[in-house]
A = this chain, B = another copy of it.
């Protein structure tokens, strides 16, 4: 085989792995969405579906890991190709953990379904959930298109989500203080908000891997401003 042929095969293998990551990401997006709906609507059946679907996400993580190792061993990639594979290995760890958070929300939803509904119909969770879902979608999109500007834009959302989460926590504390009979329900709602906030963290990690892959610089553990400077070469 000539080099061109080998390189074409290599690119096809990489595309195949990337597609699998997107499948995994899509599964997790659906699970996050369903977990939020299950919680807000008190839908036990939907909550159970999310809990039962998580094994598919886990299986994909294991299989993609294995495939990445095989590509490294067989193709011995260097520089940007190797960086892409390492990015995938790190990304799927975060996607898998987003799946775990969705499962946790679904379990909370099942517990909450039997309790009295709050007057505001979990408005805070809905609001935070919508924002987090958009951020997750955008991070996977930035990954798929290896779009550094989109990744930067998306990573910056995490601070807003953190602020919304903090506001939601303050409101929930007030609810607990008003009436101790609320404690159990509010606490489950709090854990769910916490899980959403963590999904935002994982989405931010995915964005950072994208920037890392494209620029070859490690932008983790830097501020958003530093990240923008690094990524845009300013």
What residues of B have a CB within 8 angstroms of the CB of A167 in the complex?
A: none
* Number of this chain's copies in the complex: 2
Interface residues on A, range: 20 to 34
- The reply on A93 being an interface residue by CB < 8 A is yes
Name the distance in Å between A216's Cβ and chain B's nearest Cβ: 10
Interface residues of A in 25-56 (CB under 8 A from B): 55
Residue of B nearest to A221 (CB): B58
Among A5-13, A62-70, A110-118, A127-135, the stretch in contact with B: A62-70
Name the distance in Å between A161's Cβ and chain B's nearest Cβ: 16
- The reply on A79 being an interface residue by CB < 8 A is yes
Known contacts A82-B72, A89-B90, A90-B93; is-contact A218 B62 (Cβ 8 Å):
yes
Residue of B nearest to A175 (CB): B183
- Are A86 and B69 in contact, with the CB atoms below 8 A? yes
What residues of B have a CB within 8 angstroms of the CB of A59 in the complex?
A: 221
Distance of A65 Cα from B87 Cα, bound (Å): 11
Residue of B nearest to A187 (CB): B173
User: What are 17 contact pairs spanning A and B, CB under 8 A?
Assistant: A55-B221, A58-B220, A59-B221, A61-B221, A65-B86, A66-B218, A69-B86, A73-B78, A73-B82, A86-B89, A89-B89, A173-B183, A176-B176, A176-B183, A177-B180, A180-B180, A194-B194
